[in-house]
Every structure is written in C-alpha cells, then in structure tokens.
C-alpha cells in the first residue's frame, strides 16, 4: 500500500486514526496491539505471503533479545546470541536480495547453477536493519528488552516507516512504545508534515521522473548531451523528493500517533563538501552504519590512518551492497569512498572558494548518481559518453520540449532543495506577521487538494526506495 494512494489516504489512514483515538483512546496496550495488526495488514496488502517473513523476523529477534538479556543478567557472554542474530538476519536478507546475483557471478566464472527466481519483499533491508537494531541496542543497554513479542512486532513493523524508512533505531523509540504522549499540537504538525511530504512526492518527484525515465531509457546514439545532463539533474532531484517526501510522511504519521522519529534529510544540496552532503542525506542509514559497523571497528579512534581508511572502506562497501544486488551499486559506493578519502586526506577542495566547493560537491553527487540509476555498468558508461557529446550531439529539440513542459516542477524542485521555506517563515515570524498561520494552512490545504487530484488521476506513483 502506498502513502500516495487513494486507498491509504481516504480509507486506511482515516479508519486507523478513528479506531486508535475513539474506542481505544485510553487503552495503551490495546492501541499497541491494534497498530501492530494494522501495520501487518498494511504490509500484507501488497505482499500477502511476505508478511510471514516479517512475522518470522519479529519472533526470531524477540527470542534473540530475550537471550541477550538473560545472558547479561547472568553476567555471561552475549557473543553467541549476537552472532546468531546477525547471521540469521543477514542470511534472510542475502537469500531474498543477493542470492540470484551471487549465483550469476559464479555462473559467469564457469559454474552451472540453476538460478531461481526470487521475488524481493518490499522494504526488507529496512525492517531487517531495524530488527538487528533491537537486539544490538538491548545488548548495549540502549533500550530495555521487551517481554512481549507484540511490542517487538510493533517496533519492527510500524507502518509509517515500515517499507522505506527512515530506519528507526530501537533506542530512539524504546520508551515511546508504552510511554508516548499524544497531543493536538503534535497531531496537527504531523498532518502538515505528511501533506508536505505528499506534495514532494506527487507534485515534484513524480513529475521529474518523466524526464529521468525518458533520458535513462534512451539508447546512447539517441541521447544528446543536453538531455543527458537534464535527465541526470532530474534524477537526483527525483530521488531526493521521492525519499525525502516519504520520510516526511513517515515522520508526520509518527507524530499523529505520538511517536517521534529522527530526521532523515537536512537540505543535502546546500552542502559544500562531500562529507557534509553524506551527513545530510539518508541520515538514518548513515547513523546505523556509524553506530553498528564503523564505531565497533574502531571508528576514527584507531592508531593508524590505514585502519581509519579501512573502516571507511567497510562502511561504504556495505552501503553500496545494502542498496541492491548490482555492480552499479557497488561501483557507486566505492567511488564515493575514494572521493571522500581524497577530500579528507588529499586536501581536495580544501582552499577553494565556497561556490566552487558547492559546485564540485554537487557535480560529484550528480555523476556518481548515474551509477545509482543505470541498469548496468555498461549503461552507466554509455550515459557518460552521451553527457560528453558522444551520443546524439550536444543539443536537440527533446531538451527544449521537456524544459518547456516541466519547467514548473523543475523550478520548484530547485528552489525548495534549499531551506527557503523555513527562512521565509522565520522572516515572517520576526516581523510579527499575524496572517502567517492562515497562509500556511491555506498552502497546506492547496497542496493536499492538488496532490489528491493527481493521485485520483492515476499518474506515475511508485516509491524508488521500495526496491531496497
């Protein structure tokens, strides 16, 4: 089920909110059980069989959490339950997401494996990492163990962030499962945040996808340099508003039910260094790898530069692999690692003017994203050739056509990729503009109505990060 779908907006969400706040208002345990059942139903709507995989993950990690807690209370080593938890979770992820790719590699080397067709459960990377976070945070005393499997199930399967993040660490919501406090201020702010995310997805990302899909779908000999660059820009804006929009909707939905998730994006395109842009982009994934991979390896507190580089290499290797079973994701992760090391230890961009730092950061992000979007390494290289003018020349009428047809979402995407809206609101508050709240409410209502019209019309709608 999609957040940006009629069934969710006009049936599922209103029904869940009514039941949660009317008959169950004063019964926390009943609310938790209801949210768990609603979340499993939300997932089963499009994945009726794969919900069993999630239930198995919930029960397994509930058991691992109890095992870790028992060993801690008895002052015994937790190595066995932690190791088994990591292996079992990653084994399930490998079987569904990477087995076919791995067998194809062996076959390319001369093996003769029969490659099964395995359908990927939506969002398996997200809920697997959350499940691991539960066990690891119990071990690190970052959250108390749950005696009820239903509460573990609610944490792992809670529908706002279930299938495309943000990845919520257990320590963030451990106390909120039983002790959250709903209020009108959070609920109304959550509704507004949800509508903002809906607008980002439907009014910006979906429209930009028309350009990106056309550009990346053309053969190299048909693709001009101007349209290749336009498609590359459209794609990074598309994926930003797609994922940031989903994160806004997830965070807003969490507020409606009294849960507070951490932010997942912080205006990455204003960054003036590669290190900064990755602190602002997909923050929940970066912090997950930092807390559970980078720091356990020694982080930056190692005795040699070589170990520091090794730790960064492992993190970026894992980041590339996490995104998908394709050489393009691996190349994307390793190239970003190399560029970050050149910036950190090679002095790349160190004394440049601020504008050139920003431009270089943006271009590196743009060009590496070609690997992220391309179907294969060969496709990525062909696309780069077109960007350099070795396709259909430097310009064509297609570029003019799409610029004339899509100039409004392109302009909006560029403008709102910077913190324009919060600065305008701060400016108006500073001058005591009493009509600000009314204007904001009207804008939110307008965004919802226009987005709803696009949704009912049935335009392009899938979320990119559902694939992960």
Active-site positions read: 323
- Angstrom CA distances, 322 to 315, 332, 382, stand at 10, 12, 25
185-199 core/surface letters (b: 16 or more CB in 10 A; e: else) = ebbeebbbbbbbbbb
Task: Decide: residue 201, CB within 10 A, 0-12 exposed, 13-18 middle, 19+ buried.
Answer: buried
The angle, 0 to 180 degrees and rounded to 10, between the axes of the packed helices 79-97 and 51-73 is 170
* CA angle centred on 249, ends 248 and 250, rounded to 5°: 90
Structure tokens at 265: 């994006």
What DSSP state is assigned to residue 201? I
Question: Which residue has 């957040």 as its token pair?
Answer: 3
- N- to C-terminal Cα distance for the chain? 16
SS3 168: coil
Structure tokens at 93: 């992820």
Give the separation between CA 121 and CA 4, rounded to whole angstroms: 20
E strand intervals along 164-267: none
- Angstrom CA distances, 267 to 109, 181, 422, 432, 434, stand at 44, 29, 11, 26, 28
Which candidate, 380, 360, 359, 379, places its Cα nearest to that of 369? 380
Cβ neighbors of 84 (< 8 A, separation 6 or more) are 64
Q: Which long-range contacts (CB under 8 A, 24 or more apart) does 347-351 make?
A: 349/273
């Amino acid at each position: 089920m999609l957040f940006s779908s009629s069934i969710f907006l006009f049936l599922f969400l209103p029904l869940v909110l009514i039941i949660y706040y009317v008959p169950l208002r004063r019964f926390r345990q009943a609310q938790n059980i209801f949210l768990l059942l609603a979340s499993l139903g939300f997932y089963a709507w499009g994945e009726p069989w794969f919900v069993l995989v999630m239930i198995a993950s919930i029960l397994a990690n509930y058991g691992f959490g109890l095992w870790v807690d028992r060993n801690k209370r008895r002052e015994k080593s937790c190595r066995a339950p932690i190791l088994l938890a990591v292996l079992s979770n990653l084994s399930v992820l490998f079987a569904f997401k990477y087995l076919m790719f791995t067998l194809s590699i062996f076959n390319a080397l001369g093996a003769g494996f029969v490659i099964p067709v395995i359908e990927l459960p939506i969002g398996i990377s997200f809920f697997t990492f959350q499940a691991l976070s539960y066990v690891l945070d119990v071990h690190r005393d970052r959250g108390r163990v749950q005696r009820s499997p239903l509460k573990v199930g609610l944490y792992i399967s809670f529908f706002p962030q279930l299938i495309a993040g943000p990845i919520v660490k257990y320590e963030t919501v451990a106390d909120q499962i039983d002790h959250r406090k709903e209020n009108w201020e959070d609920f109304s702010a959550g509704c507004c945040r949800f509508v903002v995310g809906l607008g980002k997805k439907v009014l910006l990302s979906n429209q930009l996808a028309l350009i990106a899909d056309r550009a990346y779908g053309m053969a190299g000999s048909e693709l001009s340099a101007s349209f290749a660059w336009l498609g590359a820009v459209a794609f990074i804006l598309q994926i930003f508003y797609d994922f940031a929009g989903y994160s806004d909707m997830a965070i807003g939905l969490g507020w409606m039910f009294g849960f507070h998730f951490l932010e997942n994006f912080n205006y990455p395109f204003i960054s003036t260094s590669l290190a900064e842009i990755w602190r602002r982009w997909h923050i929940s994934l970066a912090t997950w790898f930092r807390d559970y991979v980078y720091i356990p390896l020694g982080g930056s507190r190692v005795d040699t530069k070589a170990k520091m580089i090794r730790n960064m290499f492992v993190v970026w290797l894992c980041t590339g692999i996490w995104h998908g079973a394709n050489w393009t994701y691996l190349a994307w992760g390793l190239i970003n690692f190399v560029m970050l090391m050149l910036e950190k230890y090679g002095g790349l961009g160190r004394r440049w003017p601020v504008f050139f730092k920003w431009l270089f950061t943006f271009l590196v992000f743009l060009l590496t994203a070609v690997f992220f979007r391309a179907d294969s390494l060969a496709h990525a290289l062909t696309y780069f050739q077109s960007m350099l003018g070795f396709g259909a020349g430097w310009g064509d009428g297609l570029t003019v056509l799409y610029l004339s047809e899509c100039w409004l979402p392109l302009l909006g995407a560029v403008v709102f990729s910077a913190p324009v809206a919060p600065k305008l609101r701060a400016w108006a508050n500073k001058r005591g503009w009493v009509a600000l709240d009314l204007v904001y409410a009207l804008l939110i209502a307008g965004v919802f109505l226009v987005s709803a019209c696009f949704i009912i019309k049935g335009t392009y709608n899938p979320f990119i990060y559902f694939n992960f």
